[in-house]
Amino acid sequence: MAHKLLLLPGDGIGPEIMAQAVKILNWLRDTRGLKLEMEEELVGGASLAVHNHPIRDEVIAKAKEVDAVLFGSVGDPKWKDVPFDRRPEVAILKLRKDLNLYANLRPAQLFDPLLSASALKPDVVRGLDLMIVRETVGGIYFGEPRGIKTLPDGSRVGINTEVYTTSEIERVARVAFELARLRQGRVCSVEKCNVMESGLLWKEVVTDLHQRDYKDVELSHMLADNCAMQLVRAPRQFDVIVTGNLFGDLLSDLASMLTGSLGMLPSATLGSVNENGKRAALYEPIHGSAPDIAGKNIANPLAQILSLAMLLRYSLKRLEDAALIELAVSKVLESGLRTADIATDGVKAVSTEEMGEAVLKTLAKLA
């Protein structure tokens, strides 16, 4: 049976980098027997322009039906004045919420040829391979009460609320423990239990789950501010980090600079397994729509291509194809090819399309 994929390129550089991933999908279909049914839809500003909404209900329904969603990025300054609930970014927030995609997996892995592109010294980051598991449907981005209110004295107040239930914490921690078992067997749980009750509950629930089901995995706890510092001081101490929505957002962007560029980092967001044994899943680069470089054919497509590799591994169980893509990316980097974001002084940068073509050619050689 064919695997069903929904492609959502979105805004800015989204369509440019998605085009490179689609070339690889077509190659896998034509040469490696991957049976595929692909459909593409508008989201974000692109959807606002045509449908007057960042994501239509029928797109959400399709996303629920397919084996996996490959997402580009959304966000366009053109729409900065639309009401908050119609902004392009609503598309990704709504997908995460409606598909109940609660666990965001963000690997930060340094390819050796990019050692010099890292913001840190080579000795500190060589061989870096960590995974941040971020809770994505709860916490302060969704908690109630929220809003901007006017007080009786006329002053205004902005309110957001950090809320986590036991089951929300437990299910994301379970993902982290399971992943650790496939890696180096270590989980570091991150919160701020020193000043937040939600952090206190987070720590208790993770500790209980560890005692009950995952004693074979090594568990440590760290305050989020210390974790930010440790990620810069000694990032290789971490294997899997599990944390809430807000801290995960910040820490994973920080971790991205350890690897050289936002343009290198893929991600997966996983939901629950349904009655048909299908796990809702969305794959996307961690970066945004990069409006400053959109339309110039200079964006790095590797995060999008590596997101496709994660899709093949986690949703389609095509482990060999996933590994092949990662190897091809590594070889292309070894050969010295760089887009502008990862090019060091004196290296002539290649375009988005040239980078995509190089990965494709390398795949054909390796296969």
Catalytic residues: 141, 192, 225, 249, 253
Least distance (Å) from ligand NAD to the CB of residue 170?
Answer: 26
3-class DSSP state for residue 171? helix
Judged by CB under 6 A, which of 198, 259, 300, 315 binds ligand NAD?
A: 300
For ligand NAD, the closer CB: 18 or 293: 293
Residue 81 as a binder of ligand NAD (CB under 6 A): the answer is no
- Least Cα distance to 238 among 260, 257, 255, 225 occurs for 255
Judged by CB under 6 A, which of 23, 67, 341, 358 binds ligand NAD?
A: 341
Residue 74 as a binder of ligand NAD (CB under 6 A): the answer is yes
Least distance (Å) from ligand NAD to the CB of residue 353?
Answer: 13
Least distance (Å) from ligand NAD to the CB of residue 290?
Answer: 4
Instruction: Identify the DSSP state of 220.
Output: E
For ligand NAD, the closer CB: 92 or 169: 92
Binding region for ligand NAD (CB under 6 A) out of 181-189, 211-219, 297-305, 315-323: 297-305
- Residue 18 is which amino acid? M
Classify each residue of 188-199 as buried b or exposed e, where b means 16 or more C-beta atoms within 10 Å of its C-beta: bbbbbbeeeebb
Residue 90 as a binder of ligand NAD (CB under 6 A): the answer is no
CB 238 within 8 A of CB 128: no
3-class DSSP state for residue 118? coil
Q: What is the CA radius of gyration of the chain?
A: 20
Residue 75 as a binder of ligand NAD (CB under 6 A): the answer is yes
Q: Residue 114's CB: how many other CB atoms inside 10 A?
A: 20
Q: Taking CB under 6 A as the rule, which mask of x and - marks residues 198-217 in contact with ligand NAD?
A: --------------------
Number of residues that bind ligand NAD (CB under 6 A): 20
Least distance (Å) from ligand NAD to the CB of residue 49?
Answer: 15
Cα–Cα distance, 162 to 169 (Å, whole number): 13
- Least Cα distance to 182 among 279, 319, 367 occurs for 319
Least distance (Å) from ligand NAD to the CB of residue 72?
Answer: 7
Binding region for ligand NAD (CB under 6 A) out of 112-120, 149-157, 296-304, 325-333: 296-304
Residue 292 as a binder of ligand NAD (CB under 6 A): the answer is yes
For ligand NAD, the closer CB: 6 or 290: 290
Compute, in degrees rounded to 10, the torsion defined by CA atoms 57, 34, 20, 86: 10
Residue 92 as a binder of ligand NAD (CB under 6 A): the answer is yes
Q: Cβ contacts of residue 198 below 8 Å, gap of 6+?
A: 139, 162, 163, 164, 191, 244
Binding region for ligand NAD (CB under 6 A) out of 117-125, 182-190, 214-222, 290-298: 290-298
Judged by CB under 6 A, which of 262, 327, 343, 349 binds ligand NAD?
A: 262
Cα–Cα distance, 84 to 95 (Å, whole number): 16
For ligand NAD, the closer CB: 173 or 311: 311
Least distance (Å) from ligand NAD to the CB of residue 102?
Answer: 16
Residue 260 as a binder of ligand NAD (CB under 6 A): the answer is no
Cα–Cα distance, 126 to 235 (Å, whole number): 10
Residue 73 as a binder of ligand NAD (CB under 6 A): the answer is yes
* Nearest-5° Cα angle at 335, 290 to 238: 65
| Ordered DSSP codes for 30-80 | HHS---EEEEE---THHHHHHHSSSS-HHHHHHHHHSSEEEEEE---GGGT
Q: Cβ contacts of residue 363 below 8 Å, gap of 6+?
A: 24, 27, 324, 325, 328
Binding region for ligand NAD (CB under 6 A) out of 32-40, 67-75, 110-118, 330-338: 67-75
Which residues of this chain interact with ligand NAD, rule CB under 6 A? 13, 73-75, 89, 92, 262-263, 284, 287-293, 299-300, 303, 341
